[in-house]
Amino acid sequence: MTSLANPRRTRALRVDPRTCPVVMGIETEYGILATKSPLDVQKASEVVVDAYEQIAHKNGMPGGIRWDYSGERPLDTNAADDLRPEEVAADIDPVTRKQLPVMPLEVVRLSQQEEKFQRAHNLALPNGARFYVDHSHPEYACPETTSALYATACDVAGERIVAEAAALAGASPNDIRVFKNNTDGQGQAYGCHENYLLSRKTTIDDLIDSVVPFFVTRPLFAGAGRVGIGTHSQEGGFQISQRADFVEIIRGLHTTVNRPIINTRDEPHSSPDKYRRFHYIGGDATCFPFATWLRLCVTSMVLRLVDERGMPNRWRKLRLADPVEACRTVSRDLCGREKLELEDGRKLYATQIQLEYIHEVANCQHWNQEELFALQQWQQIIHTLCNAREADKCEPPAELADRVEWVARHQLISTYLMRNDKDWNSDLAKQLDLRWCDLTEGQGLAAALIKAGRTYDMNLIPLLDEVFVDSVLDADRHFDALVEDARYYAPPTTRAYFRGELIRHFPGLIPAASWHSIVIDHGDEYCKRICLADPLQWTQRLVGDVVEEASEKHRATQPKGELHAAKTPASATSSSINELKDAQELGQDSGELRDQLGSKAASAQVTHTVGTQLVVEKLTLAPRESKGIRYGNLSY
């Protein structure tokens, strides 16, 4: 049984002062099938999410808590960028031009029936993640991280949690199976979305102009591969990207209709006067951890370059004449022989466009070791594809099969088809395509290659100081340690740490949580909502000692075996044992917060009670005269 205390996080965490980390995350909708049951996909997804409770308790963890939708208002970035700075500060709605309503700091306590109803199939987990049903699919949204390697570990951890939940929920007679893919081959598509937090200073127009050619050609190294051509796989064949056939427009707000290359949803889950969340919906759900890591790391570098330096002139000349059609061209051109027409009339290979991005990124001098390693791998892959085209090879280069998932998928399926004298339109090709991404134990072909050591060793990727390193286990196996850690614990370098630790240690006191706030039941008439507006605050380095001390004293008050007992009413609690100082008023930058914490100044008081539960009596994170949080910028 896993202990609530994490013995592996023994070394102090440091953030490289030379670099500003990009907060990132990934969310994946999983394909689902109940093969021996009358369950429809909606109900099957619900029982999978509900199975998490059993998994958590089996591992000595609390189950998930209710997700809090308060303050979630997705708007079109185009409208938000029209606001003047003073309108942003005044919380003006970019659509209605009226002041946004207040999200109250005082929260009404729900009845047990209301709590159960609102909690259904939508959970905030103790590892900082969100697990829920979205459009009839189980979806796992990873917690915020500041490292592509840790984000990948969180994605793999989520994959294992979903697979374990499906196996538990699918025990006879249901036989539920889940798949890490993006289309059922019959016209339905579901997403794997990436999120990168950028500054508000860069306009959405500059971002789109800068990165559309990059994302159109990114499947060359980030595609998962797919059997079938067309949204309904109406033609036989193999293509590089799962999502290319479903792209309809260049930019837009929607994710399920009129799917764009660049999604303009403006929902930063943080202060929008400071940040924007770049929400990319066109990526493939990759089963190879290396492919996931490379696309996250490279994409964050490209976006960060634009965010910090503006749009490079070389990239201005890469505007495509028809980006939507170019997505399909790239996806169906396995040998890289088709040229893409640019807006100025020139024609370039997809690899040439990628080389233009590589050139600018390589000229930057401030990348960390992980990013430099990603740059090296990115260059090697694109140059290998260039060499294969120049050598007039008619097959994807086999030497990339350990790193580029679509190459490995094509290689394996084509080998089976040749042995059985079948073509790409056969049932065998479709069955193998589905088997590739099957998460059922012993069924997945991608999983078999990983287990056999046929894919790139993730432990060769440099581990940054800003991500914990296991000082107990063999340091050469750090990725395995990261994945195991991410199953049970939140990333240490973002606010996810504080959110996850409160859920993990004090589940009876946390009625609800979201990305940007958490609700605490402190025993008064109303619960207290804490705003977690800045993703780079509330980290292990800033509040870890306080949380650990609080949890240790809380555990000491609990009867053996009753750590997660039901919460006792506040009126039944006796007296406080201790007050701990822990955070500082938000709205300040991380440097100011660290200074305040260093001098022991704090504005939160956490109180322990004799009995079964810790009760928060005061958690004053905002000025006392504050009456609520604005939906828009989450300021007090």
Place of tokens 């089963």: 287
Active-site choice (76, 134, 433, 582): 134
Beta strands in 459-571 (DSSP E): 512-513, 517-520, 527-531
- 342 Cβ partners below 8 Å, 6+ apart? 317, 318, 319, 320, 321, 348
Q: Give the Cα-Cα-Cα angle 266, 270, 273 (nearest 5 degrees).
A: 70
Own/partner long-range contacts of 616-621 (Cβ < 8 Å, ≥24 apart) = 616/509, 616/520, 616/521, 616/522, 616/523, 616/528, 617/522, 617/523, 617/524, 617/576, 618/522, 619/520, 619/522, 619/528, 619/530, 621/530, 621/531, 621/583, 621/584, 621/585, 621/586
Cβ atoms of 499 and 518 closer than 8 Å: yes
Q: By three-state DSSP, how is residue 154 classified?
A: helix
Strand 527-531 versus strand 517-520 pairing type: antiparallel
Place of tokens 């740059």: 375
Q: By three-state DSSP, how is residue 34 classified?
A: strand
**What phi and psi values does residue 299 have, to the nearest 5 degrees?**
-65, -40
Place of tokens 């998928």: 409
Q: Distance between CA atoms of 493 and 308, rounded to whole angstroms?
A: 21
Q: What is the dihedral of CA 40, 44, 45, 49, to 10 degrees?
A: 160
Q: Distance between CA atoms of 222 and 27, rounded to whole angstroms?
A: 16
Q: Distance between CA atoms of 110 and 567, rounded to whole angstroms?
A: 14
Alpha carbon 39 to chain centroid, angstroms:
28
- Is 134 a residue of the active site? yes
Within 10 angstroms of residue 623's Cβ, the number of other Cβ atoms is: 10
Any idea how long the chain is? 636
Strand 260-263 versus strand 249-252 pairing type: parallel
DSSP type of residue 245 = G
Q: What is the CA radius of gyration of the chain?
A: 25
Cβ atoms of 178 and 51 closer than 8 Å: no
Output the six-digit token pair for 577.
């044992």
Cβ atoms of 579 and 605 closer than 8 Å: yes
Q: By three-state DSSP, how is residue 153 classified?
A: helix
Q: Distance between CA atoms of 454 and 439, rounded to whole angstroms?
A: 18
Could you give the residue ranges of the DSSP H alpha helices within 441-477?
A: 445-451
Q: Which residues of 298-312 are buried (b: 16+ CB within 10 A; e: fewer)?
A: bbbbbbbbbbeeebb
Q: Which candidate, 308, 20, 330, places its Cα nearest to that of 147?
A: 20
Q: Which candidate, 501, 520, 500, places its Cα nearest to that of 510?
A: 520
Q: In sequence order, what are the beta bridge partners of 512?
A: 66, 519
Active centre residues (catalytic): 134
